[in-house]
Amino acid sequence: MVPVSEQTDEQQVTGTTVAFLGTGNMGEAVLSGALKAGVAPGDVVVTSRRPERGAQLTERYGVRATTDNVAAVAGAHVVVVGVKPKDVGSMLDRVADALEPGAVVVSVAAGLPLSFFEQRLPAGTPVVRAMPNTPALVGAGVTAVVGGTAAREDDVALVETVLSGSGHVFRVAEKDMDAFGALAGSGPAYVFYVVDAMAEAGVLLGLTRDVARRLAVETVLGSAKLLDETGEHPVLLREKVSSPGGTTVAALRKLDDGGVRAAFLDALSAARDRSRELAAEHG
């Protein structure tokens, strides 16, 4: 897994026209990130089923909006497919002939392999599969990308730049996409689960609900920053908090007794397996 440089090359996306087909929460997150990465609002067209949603995005970002996917892809250098997985096949059938020669098709539809797109698009169409997670909504996401058989290095690099405004971008092998999804894609839900549990425990110990939630959130934020900025292994940082015979050791022993580590291993394996099942269902 190769991390992409955090520096955004705005020259690379200057004049790049991008069509976003489907702009739900994740599609909007990618849209917002693309604009931060240097794509000009005037070079962006978004589609939605409801005209009022398109009007909302136009007002918020200054982009063009339409309900016509075929019209949206005309002239676009990059086409981001963000509709629901069950709708992707029929949508590709409609827009395939309208794609510009050499246009890069980017999938952010969960669970659909590159082959799903390559079988439905004109031969030689470069396809890049991307998987962002929900912190992309606040520019702090983690996104995996992998290029298809016709995608050149320049195609994948362009997509990486467009996506870099949403957070960190990593290039992976397609065989690792299910594992990436289990860890980073579903990962925010695990963190929210832990934060909720910590806050609930704080309430049980007598803190007000607002204070307990704030303490849990700030503790997670601070701990993540410490991990990131020091580069130390989490075990070493954990040991620095865990004085022999102290309160933290007593707490960690209870977590071990409860099988928390094993539960995380089982949880990620279950997420990976379900991802494979979904891909088989759509394939």
pLDDT tens by residue, 133-180: 999 989 999 999 999 999 999 999 999 999 999 999 999 999 999 999
Question: Which pLDDT belongs to residue 171?
Answer: 96
Question: Per-residue confidence at 10, pLDDT binned at 50, 70, 90?
Answer: low
Query: pLDDT tens digit string along 222-235?
Result: 999 999 999 999 99
Contact 105, 99 (CB under 8 A): yes
Q: What is the pLDDT of residue 6?
A: 46
Distance CA 77, CA 20 (A): 11
Give the mean model confidence (pLDDT) for residues 91-119.
93
pLDDT band for position 1 (cuts 50, 70, 90): low
Which single residue is written with the structure tokens 């909007």? 28
Q: Which CATH code, of 3.30.70.420, 3.40.50.300, 3.40.50.720, 3.40.50.920, is assigned to 2-177? A: 3.40.50.720
Contact 181, 270 (CB under 8 A): no
Non-local CB neighbours of 115 within 8 Å, separated by 6+ positions: 283
Burial status of residue 116 (CB atoms within 10 A of its CB: 0-12, 13-18, 19 or more): buried
pLDDT confidence of residue 55:
95
Read off the pLDDT of residues 172-226 as tens digits, 9 standing for 90 and up: 999 999 999 999 999 999 999 999 999 999 999 999 999 999 999 999 999 999 9
Q: What pLDDT does residue 7 have?
A: 41
Q: How confident is the model over 242-261, as a mean pLDDT?
A: 96
pLDDT band at 2 (very low <50, low <70, confident <90, very high): low
CA dist 141 and 149 (Å) reads 26
CATH H superfamily, domain 187-280? ProC C-terminal domain-like (1.10.3730.10)
- Paired with 3 in beta bridges are 170
**Amino acid type, 141:** G
Residue 57 has pLDDT above 60, yes or no: yes
User: What are the sequence ranges of the domains in the chain?
Assistant: 2-177, 187-280
Amino acid in position 96:
A
- Asked whether residue 50 carries a pLDDT value surpassing 70, the answer given is yes
What is the tens place of the pLDDT at every residue in 17-34?
999 999 888 889 999 999
